[in-house]
Structure 1
Amino acid sequence: MVALLVLTSLLLLWSLVSDRLPRWSVTAPITFAAAGTLFSGGDVPLVRLDVDTHTFQLAIELVLAVMLFTDATEARDYVRLRGPVGEVRLLGIALPASIGLAVLAGAVIFQGTGWWLLAVVALVVMPMDLAPVLMLLRDRRVPLRVRAALNIEGGFNDGLISPLFVFCVANIVSAEGDSFTDLVLSALKGAVFATVVGTALGYPASRLVRWAKESGWAEPAGLRFAGLALPFLTYAASVLLGGNGFVAAFVAGLWYANTVAVAGDALDLVHDTSHLMALAAWYAFGALATEAFADGISFGIVAYAALVLTVARFVPVVASLTGTPFSPVERAVIGWFGPRGVTSIVFAVLAYIEMPEGEANFVVKVTAATVLLSVVLHGVTAEPVARWFARRPQPGQPDATQPSKA
């Protein structure tokens, strides 16, 4: 009952100032991570969290699945761009290069650490997640193609990384790892199954929602519930069939956005639920970070976190987008805004559960340092960047002359 009182009071207080505080660069992830540290950290927490349970693991994974679905629904605005937004370069060139740089940085800073463990750490901390700067994704002061590039990258990178993450963890927890062929087959299986499930469920469900909407068989509240049910449905079905539940939820979101032709408040419920679930994940992260840093933090971990947030992402992204229609400023903004959040938290929790204690604690410490630094750096710079674009509209953008927030 104490936990319910504390968490609902926190939610109420944040709701009352949720528009004002972000203007001062105090974002929701910063607030709830701090609350998790305050109320659930330490030796005698006011609200105790048990992160070792299967329920906690499932809850964290569902947070990510719903967030990916809502990210995908944003794609309905991107048709106005009438062309690619650098997603192939970001996912096919920048992402592998960033992971490689992160592994090399770890080898230099954490000398003597095994390559498999360095790979796990890199795969945990490199996936971007826009939760720390969610307001940026819907801020029309920021050019549409910039938001589209970030959203599509954020929607797909964790699905591409997850098979590699599972493979690297398996090589640590067992003496015999899968072969490269097994890895490729497993990755293809997960991606194919997820795409099939996301399409097989997402498309007909979206058609039914559209039919119910146009025929008047469903009231607005019912349509909102249908949008909320779909990411849970596709995630569960994909996992049961051996596919990647995250990718399936994202694919279903793409079908929903392009089939239902959503308008008005049709997606308000799933967006609000996604936001609420993400806040819960950030609260839990605050408690985990406190435990991870109970015996201090080394300079090497801080240095590594700074490198993967800046050089390891910025250089590959800017280089890969060279020669595209993006302006130098837009390339720099995309390179800078690679925030780490719920995706990294999910992978870190999975590593914590699966790996031996020593390696697991190392992964959690590095993840905690990286995510906390990202929350601060990206959280405090999101609003200034949006204001900069508002003062200097970029030519050729569909919403360049619309400075108001979505």
Structure 2
Amino acid sequence: MIFVAAGLLLSPEGLDFVSVSSNSTLILNIAELALILTLFSDASKIELQALLSEEKLPGRLLIIGMPLTIAFGAIVAALFLKDITLAEAGLIGAMLSPTDAGLGQAILNNTKVPAKIRQTLNVESGLNDGGAIPFFLFFLILTRGEALKWPVGTLIVLAFEQIGIGMLVGAVIGLAGGWLSTKAVRVGWMSGLYRKIGFMSLAIISWLVADLIGGSGFIAAFTAGLITQAGGKIKTAEEEIILTEAEGNILSCAVFFIFGITVSARIFTISWPIFIYSVLSLTLIRMLPVAISLIGIKLHSETVLFLGWFGPRGLASVVLLLTAMEETGGIGGNETLSLAVITTVFLSVFVQGATADPGSEWYSRIVAKLPTDSPERKKVGESSISSYDVDVKNSLNNSEDR
């Protein structure tokens, strides 16, 4: 919220201190690197077995909820935004499906909120950006192919090539690089800061190699992160992840600052259909799939509402939009597409960011009144992401004490 506001204030439309172009290759590279590091670090903190545990809440949101969110988002976009194609509607749905845990830190840090619910939101936000990218690539290639009149078969082959090559590169680099890094640490060839740098380099290498041979760098980085965690003896340590995540967070702040500058130049061009779509994207388009995915879990309606509302849009949506603009150029409904994503993220940053703290307090009071045997209050172990976050805070506190 602060960095977006700073971008608005210092933009040419504000105090005119800073001027940047969202079409700059440098800006795109910074944004992509921020997402690459975030995808890699988030994936490397997830234990895949935990994803399907604890009554499968995160798995339901990812496997059922996210595809439904993309489908609902595409359908509503096609109905409300008249000057876009079906492929572009699908692209909007895919770009606005990933959630950003950064805006909901007040929830994740509030121990009054049941561990199961915090864990669910944390794991979902850690994995759904990677899960949305295959859909994004598919609709992006369809959008380009429609303009260039490519055969449908060719488009499908290209989409699967990018996804498949990206997964293969990520798997190879994650497995081999993780093993080599672990071996180097064990024999004393690498320690301290270089261990952290070595881990972060796996994300960047997988991104560059996949992009070089025609695969998706985003898919490669996400897969590499998963493999380093799931590779048996290759166990990712907290001290290795912390630098990668910190660098990703720093670059994310830069992206939100640039986003604020971009919004300032376009905020007065937002039409009512786009504004209404953005409101629906943050409410019904997210809440209905969440409710459907949780059928049978016997959660209370307030819990379903809480999980549905706190799906803020942020870094992933912004970076995917920049990538789409770079790839599609002046195709079709680009202006409508970009305004829909910009408006939704802008509203999400301030509305959902501002309601995170009071919302978590409201929900904690609701939960306190529920019976002790209710699903929400069932004791669970924290997921790898949650326990990692606690470890990071303890490490930072210890560093400050020293």
TM-score above 0.5, yes or no: yes
For the 8 Å contact 2:34–2:251, the answer to whether it is kept is yes
Q: 1:343 and 2:316 equivalent?
A: yes
User: How big is the shift at 1:280?
Assistant: 0.7
Indicate which of 52, 59, 69 corresponds to 1:98: 69
Q: Which runs of 5+ in 1 are unaligned?
A: 1-29
Question: What TM-score does the superposition give when structure 1 sets the normalisation length?
Answer: 0.80
What is the letter of the counterpart of residue 334 of structure 1?
A: L
Indicate which of 257, 264, 270 corresponds to 1:283: 257
For the 8 Å contact 2:174–2:224, the answer to whether it is kept is yes
Query: Relative to 1, partners in 2 of residues 1:78 and 1:155: Cα closer, same or farther, differing over 3 Å?
Result: farther
Query: Relative to 1, partners in 2 of residues 1:183 and 1:148: Cα closer, same or farther, differing over 3 Å?
Result: farther
User: What is residue 8 of structure 1 aligned with on the other side?
Assistant: none
CA distance in 1, matches of 2:73, 2:26: 31
CA distance in 1, matches of 2:332, 2:51: 50
Q: What aligned pairs does 1:134-283 form with structure 2 within 5 A after superposition?
A: 136=107, 142-143=115-116, 145-147=119-121, 149-171=123-145, 173-174=147-148, 176-179=149-152, 181-259=153-231, 260-283=234-257
Structure 1, 194-203 or 86-95: larger mean CA deviation: 86-95
Measured against aligned partners, the alpha-carbon deviations of 1:40-75 in whole angstroms (never above 9, x if no partner) come to 342883122132232322222221111101111221
Q: Which runs of 5+ in 2 are unaligned?
A: 369-375, 391-402
CA distance in 1, matches of 2:311, 2:141: 24
SS in 2 for 1:48: coil
Indicate which of 338, 349, 354 corresponds to 1:364: 338
Q: 1:57 and 2:28 equivalent?
A: yes
SS in 1 for 2:352: helix
CA distance in 1, matches of 2:203, 2:194: 16
For these two proteins, the number of residue pairs brought into alignment is: 373
% identical equivalent positions: 23
Indicate which of 380, 395, 398 corresponds to 1:397: 380
Query: Relative to 1, partners in 2 of residues 1:81 and 1:135: Cα closer, same or farther, differing over 3 Å?
Result: farther
Indicate which of 296, 302, 306 corresponds to 2:275: 302
Query: Relative to 1, partners in 2 of residues 1:269 and 1:152: Cα closer, same or farther, differing over 3 Å?
Result: closer
SS in 2 for 1:151: helix
Indicate which of 76, 99, 103 corresponds to 1:132: 103
User: What is residue 292 of structure 2 aligned with on the other side?
Assistant: 319
Query: Relative to 1, partners in 2 of residues 1:81 and 1:325: Cα closer, same or farther, differing over 3 Å?
Result: farther
For the 8 Å contact 2:166–2:220, the answer to whether it is kept is yes
SS in 2 for 1:127: coil
CA distance in 2, matches of 1:66, 1:135: 23
User: How big is the shift at 1:403?
Assistant: 12
SS in 2 for 1:340: coil
CA distance in 2, matches of 1:316, 1:45: 42
- Please provide the CA RMSD for this pair: 3.2
User: How big is the shift at 1:357?
Assistant: 7.5
For the 8 Å contact 1:87–1:153, the answer to whether it is kept is no
For the 8 Å contact 1:345–1:367, the answer to whether it is kept is yes
Question: What TM-score does the superposition give when structure 2 sets the normalisation length?
Answer: 0.81
CA distance in 1, matches of 2:41, 2:147: 34
Structure 1, 41-50 or 136-145: larger mean CA deviation: 136-145
For the 8 Å contact 1:318–1:331, the answer to whether it is kept is yes
CA distance in 2, matches of 1:135, 1:77: 25
CA distance in 1, matches of 2:299, 2:358: 20
CA distance in 2, matches of 1:300, 1:379: 23
Structure 1, 112-121 or 333-342: larger mean CA deviation: 112-121
User: How big is the shift at 1:347?
Assistant: 2.5
CA distance in 2, matches of 1:63, 1:379: 20
For the 8 Å contact 1:72–1:251, the answer to whether it is kept is yes
Structure 1, 135-144 or 118-127: larger mean CA deviation: 135-144
CA distance in 2, matches of 1:325, 1:59: 43
User: How big is the shift at 1:233?
Assistant: 0.8
User: How big is the shift at 1:91?
Assistant: 4.2
Measured against aligned partners, the alpha-carbon deviations of 1:222-248 in whole angstroms (never above 9, x if no partner) come to 111112211111111111121111111
For the 8 Å contact 2:196–2:240, the answer to whether it is kept is yes
Structure 1, 71-80 or 332-341: larger mean CA deviation: 71-80
Query: Relative to 1, partners in 2 of residues 1:309 and 1:177: Cα closer, same or farther, differing over 3 Å?
Result: farther
What is the letter of the counterpart of residue 226 of structure 2?
A: L
